[in-house]
Amino acid sequence: MSGTSIGPRVRALFGSSERSVAEAYRRLFVDVDVLVERLGSRVAAKRILDMGCGEGLLTERLARAYPEAHIIGIDITPRVGRLFAGDGSRVSFRQQTVESLSRESPGMFDLILVCDVLHHVPRPLRPGILDSVRRLLVPEGLVVVKEWERRYNLTHLLAYVSDRWLTGDRIRYERQEEWRRLLNEAFGADAIQEEFRLPPSSNNTVFFVRPG
């Protein structure tokens, strides 16, 4: 899935300013605060999984929006959760795959976020990833998939170059209908409850999915 990544070396150059630079960089492409505010006002959850959480900046926002929830962030990077600065008593991070977690703790979560993860996963492996997500969900639980749509504009070009360069992954973005088809096949034809876009770019697409 990954090639040689220069991301850690680039981030290390910023020293104590790394967090503020990381936040500013993210805001160029997506406003995750809008997503978390929308979730917090509409979706109740007590056990949350942030899959592919990276260094924990989205997880930190989830912890603020859900002050009574227990949250686990997982990622395959050894730097998982490194920038998190929230309540560590109910938030934990693991360097772990979603497949191994689903074998250990099926039916554990009522809310699972999969944000900008799938385009890093080779297409043949995506169904298995989503099957593991489904097995981790409680009945009537919600999966939130945030992805980047392949649309030929300047923002998309910048996102691709940046993502490919920093991670070393062979990025595979999809069109909206292709993301939708993938989720329908994984969770059921009527599982997608809502779709919307996130600012500042219309390339950001979000699906609220409740498997039947």
Structural domains in the chain plus CATH codes = 7-209 (3.40.50.150)
CB 55 within 8 A of CB 22: yes
CB 201 within 8 A of CB 155: yes
pLDDT in tens, 64-99: 999 999 999 999 988 899 999 999 999 999 999 999
Whole-Å CA distances, 28 to 48, 82, 196, 198? 26, 21, 19, 12
The mean pLDDT value of the chain amounts to: 92
Whole-Å CA distances, 79 to 19, 84, 159, 187? 14, 11, 22, 31
Report the pLDDT value the prediction gives residue 2, as an integer from 0 to 100.
46
CB 175 within 8 A of CB 203: no
Average pLDDT over residues 48-55: 96
Ranges of H-type helices in 46-114: 57-65, 98-104
Report the pLDDT value the prediction gives residue 165, as an integer from 0 to 100.
77
pLDDT at residue 9 is higher than 70:
no
Tell me, yes or no, if the pTM score tops 0.85. yes
Average pLDDT over residues 120-133: 97
Lowest mean pLDDT of 58-62, 71-75, 86-90, 130-134, name the range.
86-90
Q: What is the largest CA-CA distance in the chain?
A: 47
